[in-house]
Structure 1
């Protein structure tokens, strides 16, 4: 565990977190166990049999432990009390913040107080504890809490008179203080304070407000940023936390069995139970509200959707419709529901136009970034961790609609392939600098640098060099070792997990991303129940092997779909393989209606889907379901791709309420046995990549597919201004003034001063999205060509954290 609160907040006194699991009493406090050791497994605090008198969200004392549950027959541990020379038992349970551990010695000893009324020694011997020879005799406690002597009547009268005088004095002084002195003092004092109590009178907008609760658990009322409220539902012991005066506090915890954000997630040991927020900040027809695309029949991707929206200014609202989508499709309540569903991660696809656009690119620039900042805030509030997935790159990395533009792909492929890769690496560096800041690194803990590159066409050599260069940029931004920036997640490029075994040995915290789908292969009319063990036999062994041969391996995407049925699953107007209407020649298997008409699914269908989901979760071990939410069709008003929606499955009974129940579904599959090697999680040896390995992955490659020698292709030069990402703004009231919290400046490593990749003014360039075409000739005037391809960036020596 490492401290997660930023340096500017180190002087804030934080309350201790509530214990979620009491330590075994006898193993911790008695060695060897005391004669009264019960052996009773203590339940977590949230399962206590009695109500908690502390305020909502307030922490339990850290010394509270298993003694509370020491007697399994009664469900609580009663305590011993001493009054003068007579000892009695309390007839009610001890309060939850009793200090029994602070009183008891580590081992029984003569003359020491031992607070256990069930000890046989208490029931033997004269006086039952009154004797000075008994361990019940607490001399120090008696001296501190002596029984008051009986006073004379005159003494009582004098004491009463003094008390009455004090009361009169208080009645005069207190009003004067609050009416005259305190307002004057407050108006002259503008210093900022950092509260440690569970309430706050500040707001993120700087507007005055009444005292509000800043933390709570199941059944508590949550007030959102826009002032609306909802009831937080989390039966797994999760707690939300949001204090506008302390906006980077990481006390929140998604579930009792998931470490809070202020503790390091133990990759390889703690399981990733994640869900994608597909179609939110990077739109695509199947995942976001299909109605967004159905309104414009010519739109097949965000490029054409943006063009159609921009042209529709008279009634449609123009390109601002995209921001309306950002505001409404995913909200804060979705994050609360995700934590309440037993999930601990969200994977958020982010496009390059969150940073900037260049000439001719129709996307709405920079706006989605402001909503990603909201996502960080909401994830922090509910204890969720984020996998930021760089989902759409300039020129497209795969030619599919979710990359921004359907058709050709132009990253590491084709005549503009190297220039687009240079620009993409710049954006990776910019994102890495932002999320490596201490204000964000405990929330955004995974960075997926490129979603689904076409590795089979790009080739492993060029893709590996690109991946290596991204590693260099990210670790220069973050530093080396646990707690310094994110895990770096690499998609396997559809080359297969086995192709990456032993790749980049000793690299600091890298992960392999696989997207196991079976719905895009050959189709079958077999019933859903026939797929019960398919994930176990298909994916389980591959994931186990990769966890050992490579390191952390996760499924960045998977779904419950076993056919390609569903609205826009393959894209707008592309049909389905199942019905024989997809591009190419496909046999007709049947009608898609039984696979999409979820309102009429019977219990057999639902249980079949759930069994498939459980098998997938167990086989994949660390996973992100695609996707949390599917929007309704504007034609039917309902979801038409039901096997892709986690939320819909929860609401209708085909997704598990608790993802942990998946464990053991794939019996005898040799599930990976943790932990990962130390260097794989940022420990000893992390970053010590052998020199021979780094030399084999120098950047750029000498050639790229479908284009030839890089030296003959259009390239950019590092002479431009870097488009840094702006941080959020948090303001709050402090006395009579408004304060602004330090949110970082967007750039973690001030020594990273390299300029951005831009075009050379004397060179000729093709459209970045051109596809196959002959490069312009000549490319550049004399002298410019030498600047087009920068010198290789060699992996720097790892910095010590």
Structure 2
């Protein structure tokens, strides 16, 4: 006989666990009715006697009255909870906490209005996967995010606009007071310095400016199209320059950048006279000075950083450097001019006990010619400022024309390394005349009264290579240059000419009749491998014994 479950309809819905449990209890209290169509044989197998049924009814009647009412309620309640749709979750109510900082920000916390919870028998519901319909539901990522939203959402502070305005106003007032105080102090110091310089006391007479620095200059006061040396707004550095526009020249050389007032009251140290006083004989009071090389005339061994290029580039001197830099040459070299030597340089020289400064410069400060790659005239302005700084510290100047047209020695410090084109070669005579023209303009400019006391030496040509050039040609050119500068007003300064590495003895009897000249002798021991190993005592003995004897020979007029 087949099981009774096989007689169930196939489309009958599956009963929940709770329904099965409930129906089992009901079946114990009353008999289950059978279909009338079931065969009698089957029904008789399970029939109960009348006495048994009566006894069962009495038993159920006794216990039905004592069954707790809440049992039926608790069993029915899950059905009620399941049948009701879950209400929309209440939005949290924000309750501010107490103030906790000076900016009056308020922290908040989320609180939920709680209602009395009701106990629900949820075991069966959990088994069927319907726990999300219960109050509280199943946890999810979204629900956690909703809970955190309120905790991490920034809330704007209360409106403290008035308070911030007062704070900003206070800060602005303090800054204004500081600026005013600093301006007053600086103004007093500036005024005191100017008064000191004007009276001749202190370090020196600092020239005054009629218009101040570049900040006080109206750009419209500079004529449109002015060349760079006349336009201070094109200068990389305007420190201690008079930026008032002027196109005045002396010797066809610009005065632009110079102040109209100067003074010569400064002395470098207590052992040397002030600029306004005569130096006297250099035989009784020797000059103690230093050369400022590599500044306005580049020398690779002094400023190697400017020549830090691969050897394949062929950048070996100022000419090849300028040709390589091309449009950027002006910016690179002017930065060098402005930073390599400053006023502090001259202050340090004076503080070291020195009293003279030799400043080398080259012909392109005055003039350039076809085929030249040099930077024209920019170094001229820095030469003039350097002289004024030397004046301020009581230092006398030895002007040295370091590079001449065509190159007088073919070495890199003449501007262009290679063949000598001065008094030599196809353009030798042309470059000789060009050099005289440069001196014509220079001597006219430095013959002004403002330079009479400070220019102590005037150099004609640095190191002409007379071991290669014609000695007679160099001597003749030197005599012409001497007469030219003297006729232009260089009357007090000593005119300097180079010995040409001929040896001092070979100058005996030459250039007679030319007064107040000095033979420029460069004695090097660094380039001689036999001499460079000398200790200090040996070097001093070598200089005193050997150089003194040569000097006496050169001064012998017999």
User: What TM-score comes out, normalization by structure 2 length?
Assistant: 0.53
Counterpart contact for 2:506–2:554, Cα < 8 Å: no
The alignment partner of 2:462 has SS state of coil
Q: Per-residue displacement from partner, 1:8-31 (whole Å, max 9, x unpaired)?
A: xxxxxxxxxxxxxxxxxxxxxxxx
Indicate the structure with greater helix content. 2
Corresponding residue of 1:541? 549
1:455 Cα deviation after fit: 1.1
Q: Per-residue displacement from partner, 1:690-730 (whole Å, max 9, x unpaired)?
A: xxxxxxxxxxxxxxxxxxxxxxxxxxxxxxxxxxxxxxxxx
1:319 Cα deviation after fit: 2.9
Distance 2:456 2:552 in 1: 23
1:196 Cα deviation after fit: 3.9
Distance 2:426 2:206 in 1: 58
Q: Per-residue displacement from partner, 1:599-627 (whole Å, max 9, x unpaired)?
A: xxxxxxxxxxxxxxxxxxxxxxxxxxxxx
Corresponding residue of 2:381? 370
1:320 Cα deviation after fit: 1.5
The alignment partner of 2:520 has SS state of strand
Q: Per-residue displacement from partner, 1:512-538 (whole Å, max 9, x unpaired)?
A: 111111232344684635545222222
Over 3 Å counting, the alpha-carbon distance change for 1:524 and 1:310 in structure 2 is: same
Distance 1:396 1:336 in 2: 33
1:448 to 451, 454, 459: 459
1:26-65 correspondence to structure 2 within 5 Å: none
Corresponding residue of 1:666? none
Corresponding residue of 2:469? 458
Over 3 Å counting, the alpha-carbon distance change for 1:372 and 1:336 in structure 2 is: same
Distance 2:453 2:329 in 1: 37
1:370 Cα deviation after fit: 0.3
Corresponding residue of 1:305? 321
Corresponding residue of 1:152? none
Distance 2:289 2:319 in 1: 28
Counterpart contact for 1:501–1:546, Cα < 8 Å: yes
Q: Per-residue displacement from partner, 1:430-471 (whole Å, max 9, x unpaired)?
A: 111111111112111211100111112222211111011101
Distance 1:276 1:498 in 2: 25
1:207 to 201, 205, 212: 212
Over 3 Å counting, the alpha-carbon distance change for 1:464 and 1:202 in structure 2 is: closer
Distance 1:424 1:245 in 2: 29
Distance 1:257 1:197 in 2: 18
Over 3 Å counting, the alpha-carbon distance change for 1:306 and 1:201 in structure 2 is: closer
Over 3 Å counting, the alpha-carbon distance change for 1:202 and 1:416 in structure 2 is: closer
Q: Per-residue displacement from partner, 1:243-279 (whole Å, max 9, x unpaired)?
A: x987321001011111111012223221111111100
When the two chains are superposed, the root-mean-square deviation of aligned CA atoms in Å is 2.8
Q: Please say which structure displays the higher CA radius of gyration.
A: 2
2:264 to 250, 273, 278: 250
Over 3 Å counting, the alpha-carbon distance change for 1:527 and 1:417 in structure 2 is: closer
Over 3 Å counting, the alpha-carbon distance change for 1:493 and 1:205 in structure 2 is: same
Over 3 Å counting, the alpha-carbon distance change for 1:533 and 1:524 in structure 2 is: closer
Q: Per-residue displacement from partner, 1:167-199 (whole Å, max 9, x unpaired)?
A: xxxxxxxxxxxxxxxxxxxxxxxxxxx964759
Distance 1:201 1:393 in 2: 33
1:509 Cα deviation after fit: 1.2
Distance 1:248 1:341 in 2: 24
The alignment partner of 1:357 has SS state of coil
Over 3 Å counting, the alpha-carbon distance change for 1:418 and 1:248 in structure 2 is: same
- 2:404 aligned with 1:393, yes or no? yes
Corresponding residue of 1:263? 277
- The answer for unaligned runs of 5 or more in structure 2 is 1-196, 214-236, 241-257
- Aligned residues, how many? 316
Corresponding residue of 2:524? 517
Counterpart contact for 2:526–2:532, Cα < 8 Å: no
Larger relative contact order, structure 1 or 2 (CA cutoff 8 Å, min sep 6): 1
The alignment partner of 1:322 has SS state of helix
Counterpart contact for 2:316–2:412, Cα < 8 Å: yes
Corresponding residue of 2:18? none
The alignment partner of 1:326 has SS state of helix
- 2:419 aligned with 1:408, yes or no? yes
**Runs of 4+ displaced beyond 6 Å:** 199-202
Corresponding residue of 2:291? 276
Distance 1:375 1:506 in 2: 34
Distance 2:238 2:307 in 1: 29
Counterpart contact for 2:525–2:531, Cα < 8 Å: no
1:503 Cα deviation after fit: 2.4
1:341 Cα deviation after fit: 0.6
Distance 2:553 2:540 in 1: 22
The alignment partner of 1:456 has SS state of coil
